A and B are shown apart, each in its own frame.
Chain A
Amino acid sequence: MDSEEQHILSFKTLGLILAALLLLTGITIAVSYFDLGIFNIFIALGIACTKVSLVLLFFMHLKYEGKAIRRSFIGTIFFLFIMISFMFWDYAFRH
């Protein structure tokens, strides 16, 4: 018995998300051919984060999940953020 009627994503929505992902992939590949100095890495990672968000929100239906999953996921990202930024904060001042 399906007690919660979990939202079913239509093929159309899924297809649109795939199209967006492929477009973003094309953009990130194209941008990598131009030397924009330090911006290259920011653009590449920015696009990667966007793609990851699309996969998470729609393919992994995070957009339609309840508070427990949404909050625990934000918690994990927050943990990663601390791990990465504190690592840099420490490392950058040793050299």
Chain B
Amino acid sequence: MTSQRDLTGIRIGMWLFLYTEIILFGGLFVIYSVYFYDYSAEFAKSGKELNRLIGSLNTIILLVSSFMVASSITALRREAKKLCLGLLAASFLCGGIFLINKYFEWTHKIAHGIYPNSPALTNGPPGKNVFFGLYYIITGLHGLHVIVGMTLLALSFLLVYKGKITAHHFSLLDNSGLYWHLVDLIWIFIFPLFYLIL
């Protein structure tokens, strides 16, 4: 392919998209903070019902996977294709483990009658209802983003394997990486706001 590629334009385009995602989650965090102002005691109490160990593990998993995705780009640019593929596969696995943890968390909560519109929440304190409503919406939307991110990582893996992404043409891998780091960024805020409030 000898067409001119606007590498800077490609990257700016990706960042513009990331800004829309940042503002999307920013809006959700604003809702959280307004209700935190109203129901701080209930929020803190409800936060204790979340599993801190799983939350911490998920935080570590995403941080490590971000490191691996960033490293996969370095590896590719240094012509270490196998290392690049290994790192991408490992990052994909990390995403999978994150989702499995989320599955256990959610099913555990649902089994205890904590789910949107459940009798326990509707008849309980309003602060708790709002907290868990926000919990499901924000972690749910985040989970969807993890799935999209994993899809992009898998696509990047395939294209690197087939030699369509190379050390000199790696914009797709770069942009997939940026999306994955965004998923990590959002979780970095979700973690203290839901799991660590006293």
Contact = CB atoms under 8 A, between A and B. Distances in A.
Interface of A: 1-4, 8-11, 14-15, 17-18, 21-22, 25, 28-29, 32, 35, 40-41, 44-45, 47-48, 51-52, 55-56, 58-60, 65-66, 68-69, 72-73, 76, 79-80, 83-84, 87-88, 91-92
Contact of B192 (A17, A48, A92): A48
A43 to B, nearest CB: 9
B60 A48 contact: no
Interface residues of B, number: 44
6 contacts: A9-B74, A21-B67, A29-B196, A55-B188, A73-B15, A76-B19
Contact of B70 (A14, A40, A45, A69): A14
Contact of A80 (B16, B22, B191): B22
Interface in B58-94: 59-60, 63-64, 66-67, 69-71, 74, 77-78
A18 to B, nearest CB: 4
Contact of B34 (A15, A32, A91): A91
* Main SS at interface, chain B: helix
Shortest 8 CB-CB contacts between residues of A and residues of B: A44-B192, A32-B196, A18-B67, A59-B70, A76-B19, A80-B26, A60-B181, A40-B198
Contacts of A52: 185, 188-189
A85 to B, nearest CB: 10
Contact of A69 (B12, B23, B192, B197): B12
B66 A44 contact: no
Contact of A8 (B19, B69, B74, B193): B74
